[in-house]
Structure 1
């Protein structure tokens, strides 16, 4: 069973959130200051309306009332203008923070070891890179500024009521205990619920992705019913997770909404009582308006609090990608050391049984070695060990005397290249796709690489190297994509190449022509080819036969045919 990528704990999430804020502390401080000014200006309206009520009660003239009414308008105008600038700064911080989060996420993702990505599955990483990153971006851009503004407004509003009349201020807080209690109840349950929702979304994405990618296999083996049942089970898990978060919201919001009317009613009842003891009507009116004014920011806090929980859960998942230990920086072997040696290598996936059992193999520099054997013999697993993607459970794989997995990752990738039958065409031009392997390559270098692998389809492209590739533009077929991957290999120019069925998508004639062209271009380099087509083995310097995770035969093609063993049987079957 695949194990998902880790999830950051709450302490890490808050630490990273604080660090994100510190990077823009001047902008954040300015935005907070402006929000405070805007909130103070907003307090002027209810206060002045109360003064108007008292002035009218005392028989003040129209000119006095008009002046206070103009002052109310001035307060509203100041609040609008200052709020606009404060929101601009807040959104500016949000956009910059969002961009930084996305850049950091891409950097963390690219630093993941290939083995960690494969163990987690594409669904988990795809969900984190799309749904979770978007949720975090919305939280930083919208939710955080809204909560900040609303919190400032609430503090100043209730502070103003307490300053005007402390007893009324206590009455204004009548709804706080209920709201605080239900918020505490909600927050304790929301975070794990939303984390579970994210996990089930990853599982569903993984199920749908693997079914779609393996559609032909599913159809050929008549596994449609099984895959539908598997997908239905994942949909059911996500539905249960969604129902859990929905149940929390269905309790949280009605109680909060019901609590809004309590403070206003309490203010009017208490205000009538206090007026008998000398409190003015204007103070009661102002305090009641303040309480009514608090409903809007309080409502925003309650609504966006739910979104904040989604954002925190998604942020924990996004940060979890960076918790996977990166490949350690290792040593660099001497440039003239190219011998690849396997000694006593045993390997198992996870807690399963060993796939390889004590492999001993020495690949000489410049040698062409073919590895053949039945399906399930461990050929691709051995290729992964040779490329340093996985480390053997026992034994060692060395290049130039250093364990392959201890060589600096960047240096290892320059020296050893693994090409499988799974190839990706990136969105962008053909030039962009080729430049991944050699950023400094010229157009002539790229054209020579395409010619070397027999990519005749290049001549039919309307814009040459500038032709856009990918879904919705020009889609390359499996064979063309495989030749594109081989052209990248030519441009990368490593000294050791591991080809794991690298020409499997090509028809036999094209594959043969491509292999011969590659052999000419890669003359002098070490080539290890995992092959089902025995023509590849025929052309190799030596052939290693892998059976049951062990090397059963090793020698040249002619020697193994004369020996009459397993390879000879494979060769006779291949030729009928």
Structure 2
């Protein structure tokens, strides 16, 4: 069922994926606080390692007091155990942020797919690629958040540790570290560009190979082996060149790690005489080396790996997702027609540029207040016709008008389409029934008209919580029918919307909508629906016939055959 304009206005504005990155971080501030608090505990060893080793040497082993030395090392082990517990909590908290980010991207991709022209919506390969890119982006997002967070907290802890252990150590450690970090950050833009170029080259190669594999018989029959092989060789060369260019930039990461992570070790070793002459002991020197080798260098390596791989992959993947999803076009104004007359003039629709039309040059007039049943064999285009009339699909040619207004520009409040699988969401029963019209005005009347009193009682009243999975298909359809009955829409399209109801309930529902007024179009699941209609539209492989039941029995062998095999079902 289509939502009303009011419901559409409540939805948050769709944003680009890059904006979703920051929104995902800001959306749950309590989770961010939890990540920060656990990160402080996780970074405990980064602060304590140098002090513990220095004290273990100078206050313990150097003075022949191994118990004291072992005591400091035991205290360090305790901080590592606490850090392990904190690391687990950090992973869980980051996951709580990453999942909404994935949901935002999925929403973006799905909305983009729905914005495409109907003829291009069937590109399942493109949808699958977008879904895979969303999963890659989610994983990269979590890795970037984890890596950057760990780097920041470790860096602060190491700097505080060095400052409190021996401030002069910062002179030897900090300048090369800053140089290495700056070198890496300066290489990121080029790294991102070449990573994106590699992903695009890899995707083009995959598409070419898939197309060639699917057309091997035609390639052989047409003698195109050399031409196709040359094309694949070109794509392979492009991918190889992109990989070499990417490898050239990634070499900068190794240089940055050498400068920022290991040059400080060399400087501390080379500056040992200066440190000792300043009154520092060997325990402090070893502690400083522990800060660099056990905390600072791994943190820088993690950042280089995290941003250099996951960060660049995230940026490239978000760019691919944004490029694959069409930009939102300005929405045309929605119009409320003066009447609910339906007119189709030469309407043709196919689900692909090379597919046979499902609806072919169809002319149809449904006067205001008419009750039309649509029948025909499976696959004849009945649901497609319902979607065209309600504006869900746009014909490739011809015009579909409701009250003179193009169906795809109708005010959503002017029509209701109920598909075979009725939409019910988690919430109260009242929220489900009032989805298209707030309040309880006319609610009891609609429930009585559709015969849903027993369902309301079984669920526990209007305030009862609804769990869609716990409802039967018929119960979901009945809820959707009551919801549609309450709307101000003058055009009601039921696309096998009563197929899960028993014949008596189906008859009651269709009689209720017929008495309600407006134009009613029913895609019939049972022939009894056709007998209740004023007119019947028979669809059969692109051919259509319209008339009453008696007229179609006389003029259409197909309808006569359908009617001949139909046996009335008892109505209780």
Interval containing the TM-score (normalised by the shorter chain): 0.5 to 0.7
Counterpart pick for 1:370 among 365, 370, 373: 373
Q: Specify the alignment match of 2:420 in structure 1.
A: 421
Q: Secondary structure at the match of 2:358?
A: strand
Check 1:459–1:158 CA distance in 2 against 1; reply closer, same or farther (3 A cut): closer
Counterpart pick for 2:491 among 472, 490, 496: 496
Residues in 2 aligned to 1:115 and 1:548: alpha-carbon distance in whole angstroms: 28
Residues in 2 aligned to 1:21 and 1:467: alpha-carbon distance in whole angstroms: 34
Any conservation in 2 of the 1:370–1:540 contact (CA below 8 Å)?
yes
What are the Cα deviations for residues 433-466 of structure 1, in whole angstroms up to 9, with x where unaligned? 2122222334xx3333222222253254263112
Counterpart pick for 1:292 among 290, 293, 308: 290
> How far off is 1:529 after superposition?
0.9
Q: Specify the alignment match of 1:541 in structure 2.
A: 534
1:145 lines up with 2:149 in the alignment: yes
Q: Where in structure 1 are there 5+ consecutive unaligned residues?
A: 1-11, 55-89, 197-247
Residues in 2 aligned to 1:336 and 1:533: alpha-carbon distance in whole angstroms: 32
Residues in 2 aligned to 1:120 and 1:440: alpha-carbon distance in whole angstroms: 41
Q: Specify the alignment match of 1:316 in structure 2.
A: 318
> How far off is 1:566 after superposition?
3.4
What are the Cα deviations for residues 386-424 of structure 1, in whole angstroms up to 9, with x where unaligned? 1111111122212232322234xxx2x211211111123
Check 1:115–1:446 CA distance in 2 against 1; reply closer, same or farther (3 A cut): farther
Check 1:169–1:491 CA distance in 2 against 1; reply closer, same or farther (3 A cut): closer
1:465 lines up with 2:462 in the alignment: yes
Map 1:345-360; keep pairs closer than 5 Å.
Answer: 345-351=347-353, 352-360=355-363
Q: Specify the alignment match of 1:83 in structure 2.
A: none
Q: Secondary structure at the match of 1:571?
A: helix
Q: Specify the alignment match of 1:573 in structure 2.
A: 565
Map 1:72-151; keep pairs closer than 5 Å.
Answer: 114=114, 119=122, 143-150=147-154
1:398 lines up with 2:401 in the alignment: yes
Q: Secondary structure at the match of 1:338?
A: coil
Map 1:517-532; keep pairs closer than 5 Å.
Answer: 517-520=512-515, 522=516, 524-532=517-525
Any conservation in 1 of the 2:343–2:401 contact (CA below 8 Å)?
yes
> How far off is 1:148 after superposition?
3.5
Q: TM-score, normalised by structure 2?
A: 0.60
Residues in 2 aligned to 1:446 and 1:338: alpha-carbon distance in whole angstroms: 24
> How far off is 1:486 after superposition?
0.9
Q: Secondary structure at the match of 1:544?
A: strand
Map 1:541-560; keep pairs closer than 5 Å.
Answer: 541-551=534-544, 553-560=545-552
> How far off is 1:300 after superposition?
4.4
Residues in 2 aligned to 1:166 and 1:483: alpha-carbon distance in whole angstroms: 76
Q: Secondary structure at the match of 2:462?
A: helix
> How far off is 1:560 after superposition?
2.4
Residues in 1 aligned to 2:330 and 2:189: alpha-carbon distance in whole angstroms: 42
Check 1:456–1:132 CA distance in 2 against 1; reply closer, same or farther (3 A cut): farther
Map 1:253-292; keep pairs closer than 5 Å.
Answer: 266-267=266-267, 269-271=269-271, 275=274, 280=278, 282=280, 289-292=287-290
Any conservation in 2 of the 1:358–1:550 contact (CA below 8 Å)?
no
> How far off is 1:270 after superposition?
2.4
Q: Secondary structure at the match of 2:501?
A: coil
> How far off is 1:567 after superposition?
2.6
Residues in 2 aligned to 1:366 and 1:423: alpha-carbon distance in whole angstroms: 24
Any conservation in 2 of the 1:275–1:281 contact (CA below 8 Å)?
no
Any conservation in 1 of the 2:261–2:300 contact (CA below 8 Å)?
no
Any conservation in 2 of the 1:438–1:492 contact (CA below 8 Å)?
yes
Residues in 1 aligned to 2:511 and 2:18: alpha-carbon distance in whole angstroms: 58
Counterpart pick for 2:553 among 555, 561, 573: 561
Q: Specify the alignment match of 2:477 in structure 1.
A: 482
> How far off is 1:504 after superposition?
1.0
Residues in 1 aligned to 2:426 and 2:124: alpha-carbon distance in whole angstroms: 22
Mean Cα displacement is larger for which, 261-270 or 506-515? 261-270
Q: TM-score, normalised by structure 1?
A: 0.59
Any conservation in 2 of the 1:417–1:498 contact (CA below 8 Å)?
yes
> How far off is 1:379 after superposition?
0.9
Residues in 2 aligned to 1:182 and 1:430: alpha-carbon distance in whole angstroms: 57
Residues in 1 aligned to 2:174 and 2:145: alpha-carbon distance in whole angstroms: 34
Residues in 2 aligned to 1:463 and 1:23: alpha-carbon distance in whole angstroms: 35
Any conservation in 1 of the 2:48–2:161 contact (CA below 8 Å)?
no
1:384 lines up with 2:383 in the alignment: no
Check 1:135–1:439 CA distance in 2 against 1; reply closer, same or farther (3 A cut): farther
Q: Where in structure 2 are there 5+ consecutive unaligned residues?
A: 1-15, 59-89, 203-246
Map 1:443-462; keep pairs closer than 5 Å.
Answer: 445-458=442-455, 460-461=457-458
Residues in 1 aligned to 2:133 and 2:461: alpha-carbon distance in whole angstroms: 32
Residues in 2 aligned to 1:304 and 1:418: alpha-carbon distance in whole angstroms: 52
Any conservation in 2 of the 1:368–1:542 contact (CA below 8 Å)?
yes
Any conservation in 1 of the 2:468–2:476 contact (CA below 8 Å)?
no
Residues in 2 aligned to 1:144 and 1:331: alpha-carbon distance in whole angstroms: 45
Residues in 2 aligned to 1:488 and 1:318: alpha-carbon distance in whole angstroms: 40
Residues in 2 aligned to 1:479 and 1:286: alpha-carbon distance in whole angstroms: 76
The number of equivalent residue pairs is 458
Check 1:493–1:300 CA distance in 2 against 1; reply closer, same or farther (3 A cut): farther
